[in-house]
Protein backbone atom coordinates (compact mmCIF):
# COMPACT_ATOMS: atom_id res chain seq x y z
CA UNK A 1 0.00 0.00 0.00
CA UNK A 2 1.50 3.31 -1.09
CA UNK A 3 0.74 6.65 0.52
CA UNK A 4 -0.64 9.36 -1.74
CA UNK A 5 2.21 10.58 -3.92
CA UNK A 6 0.93 13.74 -5.56
CA UNK A 7 -0.25 17.16 -4.49
CA UNK A 8 2.37 17.81 -1.77
CA UNK A 9 1.19 15.54 1.07
CA UNK A 10 0.81 17.00 4.54
CA UNK A 11 4.06 17.00 6.51
CA UNK A 12 6.19 17.08 3.36
CA UNK A 13 5.21 20.47 1.98
CA UNK A 14 8.61 21.18 0.39
CA UNK A 15 8.62 17.88 -1.50
CA UNK A 16 6.71 17.15 -4.69
CA UNK A 17 5.90 13.73 -3.25
CA UNK A 18 6.80 11.43 -0.38
CA UNK A 19 6.04 7.83 -1.25
CA UNK A 20 6.12 5.71 1.92
CA UNK A 21 6.20 2.05 0.91
CA UNK A 22 6.44 1.05 4.59
CA UNK A 23 9.59 -1.08 4.35
CA UNK A 24 10.07 -3.44 7.29
CA UNK A 25 12.69 -2.13 9.68
CA UNK A 26 15.77 -4.24 10.31
CA UNK A 27 15.60 -6.23 13.53
CA UNK A 28 18.85 -5.27 15.25
CA UNK A 29 18.44 -7.71 18.15
CA UNK A 30 17.42 -10.68 16.01
CA UNK A 31 20.24 -10.07 13.53
CA UNK A 32 22.87 -9.73 16.28
CA UNK A 33 21.71 -12.89 18.07
CA UNK A 34 21.72 -14.77 14.77
CA UNK A 35 25.17 -13.47 13.84
CA UNK A 36 26.72 -14.40 17.16
CA UNK A 37 25.18 -17.89 16.89
CA UNK A 38 26.98 -18.57 13.59
CA UNK A 39 30.42 -20.00 13.03
CA UNK A 40 32.31 -17.91 12.24
CA UNK A 41 30.54 -15.09 14.10
CA UNK A 42 29.36 -12.18 11.99
CA UNK A 43 27.52 -8.87 12.26
CA UNK A 44 25.59 -7.02 9.54
CA UNK A 45 27.39 -3.84 8.41
CA UNK A 46 24.08 -2.00 7.97
CA UNK A 47 24.13 -1.47 11.75
CA UNK A 48 27.38 0.50 11.63
CA UNK A 49 25.48 3.66 10.80
CA UNK A 50 23.90 4.95 13.97
CA UNK A 51 24.57 8.65 14.67
CA UNK A 52 28.00 7.96 16.16
CA UNK A 53 28.98 5.54 13.41
CA UNK A 54 27.90 7.94 10.66
CA UNK A 55 29.99 10.71 12.22
CA UNK A 56 33.04 8.44 12.42
CA UNK A 57 32.56 7.39 8.79
CA UNK A 58 32.61 11.07 7.81
CA UNK A 59 36.03 11.23 9.51
CA UNK A 60 37.16 8.19 7.51
CA UNK A 61 36.35 9.88 4.20
CA UNK A 62 38.85 12.64 5.07
CA UNK A 63 41.75 10.34 5.99
CA UNK A 64 44.89 10.41 3.81
CA UNK A 65 44.75 6.62 3.38
CA UNK A 66 41.08 6.57 2.34
CA UNK A 67 41.25 7.51 -1.33
CA UNK A 68 37.70 6.45 -2.31
CA UNK A 69 35.67 9.61 -1.68
CA UNK A 70 38.12 12.21 -2.95
CA UNK A 71 38.97 10.12 -6.02
CA UNK A 72 35.32 9.68 -6.97
CA UNK A 73 34.64 13.39 -6.47
CA UNK A 74 37.59 14.29 -8.69
CA UNK A 75 36.29 11.98 -11.43
CA UNK A 76 32.83 13.57 -11.17
CA UNK A 77 34.42 17.01 -11.52
CA UNK A 78 36.32 15.93 -14.62
CA UNK A 79 33.51 14.17 -16.48
CA UNK A 80 30.72 16.65 -15.80
CA UNK A 81 30.39 17.78 -19.44
CA UNK A 82 30.24 14.16 -20.65
CA UNK A 83 27.55 13.34 -18.11
CA UNK A 84 25.52 16.34 -19.25
CA UNK A 85 25.67 15.06 -22.83
CA UNK A 86 24.80 11.48 -21.88
CA UNK A 87 21.90 12.44 -19.62
CA UNK A 88 20.53 15.17 -21.85
CA UNK A 89 18.33 18.06 -20.67
CA UNK A 90 15.54 17.45 -18.17
CA UNK A 91 17.03 14.35 -16.56
CA UNK A 92 15.37 12.65 -13.59
CA UNK A 93 18.05 11.64 -11.07
CA UNK A 94 17.18 8.78 -8.69
CA UNK A 95 19.52 8.06 -5.78
CA UNK A 96 19.07 4.77 -3.89
CA UNK A 97 20.64 5.24 -0.49
CA UNK A 98 20.57 9.06 -0.51
CA UNK A 99 24.12 9.33 0.73
CA UNK A 100 26.65 12.15 0.47
CA UNK A 101 25.01 15.42 -0.51
CA UNK A 102 28.40 16.52 -1.89
CA UNK A 103 28.29 13.84 -4.60
CA UNK A 104 24.67 14.35 -5.64
CA UNK A 105 25.18 18.10 -5.81
CA UNK A 106 28.20 17.64 -8.07
CA UNK A 107 26.08 15.50 -10.37
CA UNK A 108 23.09 17.85 -10.37
CA UNK A 109 25.34 20.85 -10.99
CA UNK A 110 26.93 19.15 -14.00
CA UNK A 111 23.65 18.27 -15.76
CA UNK A 112 21.71 20.44 -18.20
CA UNK A 113 18.53 21.67 -16.50
CA UNK A 114 17.74 18.48 -14.55
CA UNK A 115 14.01 18.14 -13.99
CA UNK A 116 13.82 16.01 -10.85
CA UNK A 117 15.71 14.46 -7.98
CA UNK A 118 14.27 11.44 -6.17
CA UNK A 119 15.94 10.19 -3.00
CA UNK A 120 15.32 6.64 -1.85
CA UNK A 121 16.13 5.19 1.56
CA UNK A 122 14.78 2.74 4.13
CA UNK A 123 14.94 5.36 6.92
CA UNK A 124 12.08 7.82 6.48
CA UNK A 125 13.42 10.49 8.81
CA UNK A 126 16.91 10.45 7.30
CA UNK A 127 15.42 10.46 3.81
CA UNK A 128 13.10 13.39 4.43
CA UNK A 129 15.90 15.51 5.94
CA UNK A 130 18.24 14.76 3.02
CA UNK A 131 15.61 15.50 0.37
CA UNK A 132 14.47 18.71 2.06
CA UNK A 133 18.08 19.93 1.95
CA UNK A 134 18.21 19.26 -1.79
CA UNK A 135 14.83 20.96 -2.29
CA UNK A 136 16.06 24.05 -0.46
CA UNK A 137 19.30 24.18 -2.47
CA UNK A 138 17.59 23.61 -5.86
CA UNK A 139 14.26 25.45 -5.74
CA UNK A 140 13.60 24.91 -9.48
CA UNK A 141 14.01 21.14 -9.16
CA UNK A 142 11.13 18.73 -8.56
CA UNK A 143 12.27 16.83 -5.44
CA UNK A 144 10.56 13.67 -4.26
CA UNK A 145 11.31 10.84 -1.86
CA UNK A 146 10.61 7.11 -1.72
CA UNK A 147 10.83 5.36 1.65
CA UNK A 148 11.60 1.78 0.59
CA UNK A 149 14.19 -1.00 0.69
CA UNK A 150 15.92 -0.56 -2.66
CA UNK A 151 17.63 -3.96 -2.33
CA UNK A 152 14.19 -5.49 -2.97
CA UNK A 153 13.78 -3.75 -6.33
CA UNK A 154 12.49 -0.34 -7.40
CA UNK A 155 8.84 0.47 -8.06
CA UNK A 156 8.65 3.75 -9.97
CA UNK A 157 5.62 3.06 -12.13
CA UNK A 158 3.07 4.97 -10.04
CA UNK A 159 5.14 8.09 -9.35
CA UNK A 160 4.46 11.52 -10.91
CA UNK A 161 7.93 11.81 -12.47
CA UNK A 162 8.93 14.16 -15.24
CA UNK A 163 9.49 12.65 -18.70
CA UNK A 164 13.27 13.05 -18.98
CA UNK A 165 15.87 10.28 -19.01
CA UNK A 166 16.03 8.57 -15.61
CA UNK A 167 19.54 8.25 -14.21
CA UNK A 168 19.99 5.99 -11.19
CA UNK A 169 22.99 7.33 -9.23
CA UNK A 170 24.74 4.73 -7.04
CA UNK A 171 28.17 6.10 -6.05
CA UNK A 172 30.77 5.14 -3.49
CA UNK A 173 31.25 1.49 -4.51
CA UNK A 174 28.35 0.55 -2.24
CA UNK A 175 27.74 -2.30 -4.70
CA UNK A 176 30.94 -3.84 -3.33
CA UNK A 177 29.39 -4.32 0.11
CA UNK A 178 27.02 -6.93 -1.30
CA UNK A 179 27.89 -10.57 -1.79
CA UNK A 180 28.26 -11.37 -5.52
CA UNK A 181 24.74 -12.78 -5.86
CA UNK A 182 23.33 -9.88 -3.85
CA UNK A 183 25.08 -7.40 -6.15
CA UNK A 184 23.64 -9.19 -9.17
CA UNK A 185 20.12 -9.06 -7.68
CA UNK A 186 20.55 -5.37 -6.83
CA UNK A 187 21.52 -4.46 -10.39
CA UNK A 188 18.78 -6.70 -11.78
CA UNK A 189 16.29 -4.75 -9.65
CA UNK A 190 17.58 -1.48 -11.09
CA UNK A 191 17.36 -2.93 -14.60
CA UNK A 192 13.77 -4.06 -14.06
CA UNK A 193 12.67 -0.53 -13.17
CA UNK A 194 14.23 1.10 -16.22
CA UNK A 195 12.84 2.14 -19.58
CA UNK A 196 14.76 2.17 -22.87
CA UNK A 197 17.13 5.13 -22.76
CA UNK A 198 17.44 5.26 -18.98
CA UNK A 199 20.84 4.77 -17.33
CA UNK A 200 22.76 3.91 -14.17
CA UNK A 201 25.81 5.90 -13.02
CA UNK A 202 27.60 3.61 -10.57
CA UNK A 203 30.90 3.73 -8.70
CA UNK A 204 33.21 0.76 -8.17
CA UNK A 205 36.45 0.48 -6.26
CA UNK A 206 39.22 -1.17 -8.25
CA UNK A 207 41.43 -4.15 -7.42
CA UNK A 208 44.84 -2.73 -6.50
CA UNK A 209 47.92 -3.31 -4.35
CA UNK A 210 46.69 -5.13 -1.21
CA UNK A 211 48.92 -2.95 0.98
CA UNK A 212 47.11 0.16 -0.21
CA UNK A 213 43.72 -1.47 0.34
CA UNK A 214 44.58 -2.62 3.85
CA UNK A 215 45.88 0.85 4.75
CA UNK A 216 42.58 2.37 3.61
CA UNK A 217 40.66 0.07 5.99
CA UNK A 218 43.19 0.10 8.86
CA UNK A 219 44.42 3.68 8.98
CA UNK A 220 47.33 4.91 11.10
CA UNK A 221 45.09 7.11 13.27
CA UNK A 222 42.80 4.22 14.18
CA UNK A 223 39.63 5.92 12.94
CA UNK A 224 38.43 2.81 11.06
CA UNK A 225 39.10 0.76 14.18
CA UNK A 226 36.84 3.14 16.15
CA UNK A 227 34.20 2.78 13.44
CA UNK A 228 34.32 -1.01 13.68
CA UNK A 229 34.30 -1.05 17.48
CA UNK A 230 31.42 1.44 17.60
CA UNK A 231 29.19 -1.44 16.54
CA UNK A 232 30.14 -3.23 19.79
CA UNK A 233 29.41 -0.09 21.83
CA UNK A 234 26.02 0.13 20.11
CA UNK A 235 25.20 -3.50 20.96
CA UNK A 236 26.18 -2.90 24.58
CA UNK A 237 24.12 0.28 24.80
CA UNK A 238 20.99 -0.75 22.91
CA UNK A 239 20.81 -4.51 23.48
CA UNK A 240 22.06 -4.85 27.07
CA UNK A 241 25.33 -6.27 25.82
CA UNK A 242 28.31 -6.97 28.08
CA UNK A 243 31.00 -7.34 25.40
CA UNK A 244 34.41 -5.98 26.45
CA UNK A 245 35.45 -3.76 23.52
CA UNK A 246 38.94 -3.38 24.99
CA UNK A 247 39.41 -7.11 24.46
CA UNK A 248 38.83 -6.81 20.69
CA UNK A 249 41.20 -5.62 17.98
CA UNK A 250 40.26 -4.28 14.57
CA UNK A 251 41.74 -6.16 11.62
CA UNK A 252 41.49 -5.58 7.87
CA UNK A 253 42.34 -8.54 5.62
CA UNK A 254 42.67 -8.84 1.84
CA UNK A 255 40.91 -12.00 0.62
CA UNK A 256 42.41 -12.52 -2.82
CA UNK A 257 40.17 -15.49 -3.67
CA UNK A 258 37.02 -13.40 -3.13
CA UNK A 259 38.59 -10.12 -4.35
CA UNK A 260 37.52 -8.29 -1.21
CA UNK A 261 38.70 -6.50 1.89
CA UNK A 262 37.23 -8.01 5.04
CA UNK A 263 36.86 -6.20 8.34
CA UNK A 264 37.03 -8.26 11.52
CA UNK A 265 37.09 -7.79 15.27
CA UNK A 266 39.48 -10.33 16.77
CA UNK A 267 39.42 -11.43 20.42
CA UNK A 268 42.70 -10.65 22.18
CA UNK A 269 41.71 -13.11 24.88
CA UNK A 270 38.78 -15.40 25.58
CA UNK A 271 35.67 -13.71 26.93
CA UNK A 272 32.10 -14.63 27.81
CA UNK A 273 29.42 -12.02 27.23
CA UNK A 274 25.67 -11.54 27.16
CA UNK A 275 23.34 -9.89 24.65
CA UNK A 276 19.72 -9.43 25.78
CA UNK A 277 20.17 -12.23 28.29
CA UNK A 278 21.76 -14.71 25.85
CA UNK A 279 25.27 -15.90 26.65
CA UNK A 280 28.02 -16.23 24.06
CA UNK A 281 31.70 -17.06 24.13
CA UNK A 282 34.66 -15.82 22.15
CA UNK A 283 37.84 -17.87 22.09
CA UNK A 284 41.21 -16.12 22.05
CA UNK A 285 41.98 -15.29 18.41
CA UNK A 286 38.38 -15.84 17.29
CA UNK A 287 37.01 -13.33 14.79
CA UNK A 288 33.73 -11.47 14.44
CA UNK A 289 33.36 -10.73 10.70
CA UNK A 290 31.76 -7.29 10.32
CA UNK A 291 32.05 -6.19 6.68
CA UNK A 292 33.10 -7.14 3.16
CA UNK A 293 34.11 -4.62 0.50
CA UNK A 294 34.47 -6.31 -2.88
CA UNK A 295 36.83 -4.77 -5.42
CA UNK A 296 36.43 -4.98 -9.19
CA UNK A 297 38.45 -5.12 -12.36
CA UNK A 298 36.98 -3.63 -15.50
CA UNK A 299 36.35 -7.16 -16.73
CA UNK A 300 34.68 -8.41 -13.55
CA UNK A 301 32.32 -5.45 -13.30
CA UNK A 302 31.47 -5.57 -17.01
CA UNK A 303 30.63 -9.26 -16.63
CA UNK A 304 28.38 -8.51 -13.64
CA UNK A 305 26.56 -5.69 -15.46
CA UNK A 306 26.09 -7.66 -18.66
CA UNK A 307 24.75 -10.67 -16.75
CA UNK A 308 21.61 -8.71 -15.81
CA UNK A 309 21.04 -6.93 -19.11
CA UNK A 310 23.23 -3.83 -19.05
CA UNK A 311 25.64 -2.45 -21.62
CA UNK A 312 28.63 -0.60 -20.11
CA UNK A 313 28.59 2.39 -22.42
CA UNK A 314 31.31 4.45 -20.70
CA UNK A 315 33.83 3.96 -17.90
CA UNK A 316 35.97 6.68 -16.31
CA UNK A 317 38.87 6.17 -13.89
CA UNK A 318 41.51 8.32 -12.25
CA UNK A 319 45.09 8.28 -13.54
CA UNK A 320 46.13 5.66 -10.95
CA UNK A 321 43.14 3.39 -11.66
CA UNK A 322 42.07 3.47 -8.03
CA UNK A 323 38.35 3.94 -8.69
CA UNK A 324 35.90 3.90 -11.60
CA UNK A 325 32.52 5.33 -12.51
CA UNK A 326 30.44 3.49 -15.11
CA UNK A 327 27.52 4.57 -17.28
CA UNK A 328 25.22 1.60 -17.81
CA UNK A 329 22.33 1.43 -20.25
CA UNK A 330 19.81 -1.41 -20.54
CA UNK A 331 20.27 -3.69 -23.49
CA UNK A 332 17.28 -4.33 -25.72
CA UNK A 333 16.64 -7.67 -24.04
CA UNK A 334 17.41 -8.20 -20.36
Q: Evaluate if pTM is beyond 0.85.
A: yes
Predicted confidence at residue 157, as pLDDT, reads 87
Helix (H, G, I), strand (E, B) or coil at 92: strand
- Phi first, then psi: give them for residue 142, nearest 5 degrees: -75, 120
Which helix (H) or strand (E) segment holds residue 291: the answer is strand 287-294
The Cα–Cα gap between 86 and 80 comes to 10
Q: Long-range contacts for 127-131 (Cβ within 8 Å, ≥24 apart)?
A: 127/98, 128/12, 128/15, 128/18, 130/98, 130/101, 131/15, 131/98
**45-90 residue pLDDT tens:** 999 988 899 899 999 999 999 999 999 999 999 999 999 999 999 9
Q: Cβ distance 126 to 143 under 8 Å?
A: no
What count of other Cβ atoms lies within 10 Å of the Cβ of residue 321?
A: 12
Q: Cβ distance 69 to 100 under 8 Å?
A: yes
Predicted confidence at residue 100, as pLDDT, reads 64
Predicted confidence at residue 5, as pLDDT, reads 44
The Cα–Cα gap between 188 and 150 comes to 11
Residue 295: CB partners within 8 Å, gap ≥ 6? 176, 204, 205, 206, 207, 208, 213, 259, 260, 261
How many Cα atoms sit within 13 Å of 55 on the Cβ side?
4
Give the burial string for 212-248 (b: 16+ CB within 10 Å, else e). ebbbbbbbeeebbbbbbbbbbbbbbeebebebbeebb
Q: How far is CA 321 from the centre of its chain?
A: 21
- Phi first, then psi: give them for residue 178, nearest 5 degrees: -90, 150
Residue ranges with strand state E in 43-164: 92-96, 116-121, 142-147
Predicted confidence at residue 122, as pLDDT, reads 87
In the predicted model, residues of the chain with pLDDT beneath 50 are: 1-13, 334
Predicted confidence at residue 241, as pLDDT, reads 98
Residue 269: CB partners within 8 Å, gap ≥ 6? 247, 284
Q: Cβ distance 309 to 333 under 8 Å?
A: yes
**216-248 residue pLDDT tens:** 999 999 999 999 999 999 999 999 999 999 999
Per-residue DSSP letter, 207: P
Amino acid sequence: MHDRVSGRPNGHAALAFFDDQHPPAGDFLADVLDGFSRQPKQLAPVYFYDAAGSAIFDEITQLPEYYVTRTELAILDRIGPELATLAGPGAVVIEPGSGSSVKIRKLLDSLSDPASYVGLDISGSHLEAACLEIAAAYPELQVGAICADFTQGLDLSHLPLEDGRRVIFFPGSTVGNFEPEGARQLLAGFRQAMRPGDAVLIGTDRVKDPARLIAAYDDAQGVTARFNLNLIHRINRELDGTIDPDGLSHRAVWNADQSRIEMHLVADQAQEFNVAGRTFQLREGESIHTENSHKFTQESFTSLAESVGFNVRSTWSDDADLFSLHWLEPTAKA
